[in-house]
Amino acid sequence: MDTSYVLAQNIANTKYEDLPPEVVNFALFDIESIGFSNGANRNALLLHTVGDPFFCCDDDTVCQVATSPSSKEGLLFTCDCDPAQYWFFRDRQNTLQSVIFEEENFLAFHERFLGKRLSSIISTRKETEKLSFKQIRAEYLKRFGNGNGKVRITFNGVIGDCAWGAPFGLWGDPMGYLLLDDDSHRRLVKSESEYRSACTSRELFRVVNCPTISDATFSQTTFVGLDNQQLLPPFFPVRRGMDKIFGITLWRCFDKSYFCHLPQALLHAPANDRGFWPGEIVRSASGFDIDKVVIECINSLEFGHDKKGCKDRLRVLGKHLIELGSMKVEDFEEFVQTQALKTNYRFISLMEERSGFWVYPSI
């Protein structure tokens, strides 16, 4: 990427010249020729926009905006769940015929929340915008209780291709459908044919009903605003799932940072037809991709009760990842398997909670 190259040269000619070249190259270039380096591009954007909030989106985005058919006024706080509502469609034509597009200044919503303190957001909301809390843990309530935190990242919903996994559905990830509840779940399983269609078609309408302050449970950066006025963590430079890794790093290391999902969706319209492999929901439920491995490594770190700042936490996390990467292969595999079992059991528990019946894993 030309931008990455220019930024790398600028780094080499500034006070940051003592940065290890291998670190700069890994962050900005696909040095191992993986073939998918969106994270490196995002790192270039972070370096280019230091001191500013900015919005970025995938290059196959169309500026057509729609709000949820169930939209309402309010401000929702939630954690441990994807806050959006889902509608599923057979193909792109069906999607475009079913969604009502509106003339909306979608950037105004990013400007309203991005970089703003929670106390300011709450105090300046309209009288008709009632506060609502859903699936909030005590830990999360305590975290934002003093109102000093800021929204550091804002998300639009998506219309059209879901933007999950590789083109043509080679390695998609519809496993999250298993955790849908309420109206989204009812639409998913309305009939067997509609369920099977949803599990193979990538076409959907995913959006929140009202502005929603959340944790890092869902951090897809297809259309995203980032508050780069203060330090942000880097993106994992290669492979898919880099946005999930970024989200969990931001949540764990920047304890006064919050996520905001906005009630407008943008059209994601790749030129080629895409679809999930028919057995993808089984593969993604039973497999463990590289982004999940990295997230497990991040989540395995306990910061303790020391009041470390975000810079110190990033350094501690970096040291932790280096130590894990230095383990013997067999020891690392055992570590990942142990962490994965814990995560899978939590996932199963959530499935039981959302579905209302017991799910017995075949482990």
What is 127-163 written as a DSSP string? Answer: TT--EEEES--HHHHHHHTTS--EEEEEEEEEEEE--
- Kindly list the domain boundaries of the chain, sorted by start residue: 34-355
| Mean pLDDT along residues 131-148 | 77
Q: What pTM value is reported for the model? A: 0.88
Residue written as token pair 């230091």: 50
pLDDT at position 360 is 42
- What does the pLDDT read at residue 280? 75
pLDDT confidence of residue 169: 35
Structure tokens at 349: 């528990």
Q: Are 283 and 199 in contact (CB under 8 A)?
A: no
Share above pLDDT 70 across residues of the chain, in percent, rounded to a whole number: 87
End-to-end CA distance of the chain, in Å? 44
Would you give the DSSP letter of residue 235? P
Strands (E), the chain: 53-57, 61-67, 75-78, 85-88, 131-134, 150-161, 203-207, 212-214, 223-227, 257-268
Q: Please determine, for residue 278, whether its predicted confidence score (pLDDT) is greater than 60.
A: yes
Residue 22, helix vs strand vs coil: helix
| pLDDT at residue 316, rounded to an integer | 94
How many alpha carbons fall within 13 Å on the CB side of residue 39? 25
Would you place residue 255 in the very low, low, confident or very high pLDDT band (cuts 50, 70, 90)?
confident
Per-residue model confidence as pLDDT tens digits over 334-347: 999 998 888 888 87
Provide the pLDDT for residue 7.
Answer: 54
Instruction: Write phi, then psi, for 51 (nearest 5 degrees).
Output: 95, -5
Window from 40-54, 129-143, 327-341 with minimum mean pLDDT: 129-143
Q: Is 101 helix (H, G, I), strand (E, B) or coil?
A: coil
Q: Which residues contact 344 (CB under 8 A, 6 or more apart)?
A: 361, 363
Closest CA to 202 of 286, 287, 291, 86: 86
Cβ–Cβ under 8 Å, residues 201 and 211: no
The predicted model gives 97-118 an average pLDDT of 94
27 versus 1: the higher-pLDDT residue is: 27
Write the pLDDT tens digit of every residue in 54-102.
999 999 999 999 999 999 999 999 988 899 999 999 999 999 999 999 9
What's the mean pLDDT in 268-294?
80
pLDDT at residue number 148: 78
Kindly state the average pLDDT of the residues 36-56: 93
Strands 257-268 and 203-207, sheet pairing? unpaired
Taking 60 as the threshold, does the pLDDT of residue 243 lie above it?
yes
Find, among 111, 95, 10, 94, the residue nearest to 52 by Cα. 111
**What was the pLDDT predicted at 22?**
87
pLDDT band at 151 (very low <50, low <70, confident <90, very high): very high
Bridge partners of 157? 265
**pLDDT of residue 2 exceeding 80:** no
The two tokens of residue 262 are: 């906005």
Instruction: State the angle between helix axes of 38-48 and 21-28 in degrees (0 to 180), rounded to the nearest 10.
Output: 110
Confirm if 285 and 175 have CB atoms less than 8 A apart. Answer: yes
Burial of 154 (0-12, 13-18, 19+ CB in 10 A): buried
The per-residue pLDDT for 166 is 47
103: which DSSP letter?
A: -
Output the average pLDDT for the chain. 86
Find all residues with CB under 8 Å of 189, minimum gap 6, and list them: 195
Which contacts of 285-294 are long-range, i.e. CB under 8 A and separated by 24 or more positions? Answer: 285/175, 285/178, 288/336, 288/340, 289/171, 289/173, 289/240, 289/241, 290/239, 290/241, 291/236, 291/239, 291/240, 291/241, 291/242, 291/244, 291/245, 292/241, 292/340, 292/343, 293/336, 294/236, 294/241, 294/245
157 vs 283, more confident: 157
Query: Could you tell me whether strands 150-161 and 223-227 are parallel, antiparallel, or unpaired per DSSP bridges?
Result: antiparallel
The pLDDT of residue 270 is above 80: yes
Q: Looking at residue 258, what is its pLDDT?
A: 94
At 3 the pLDDT is: 53
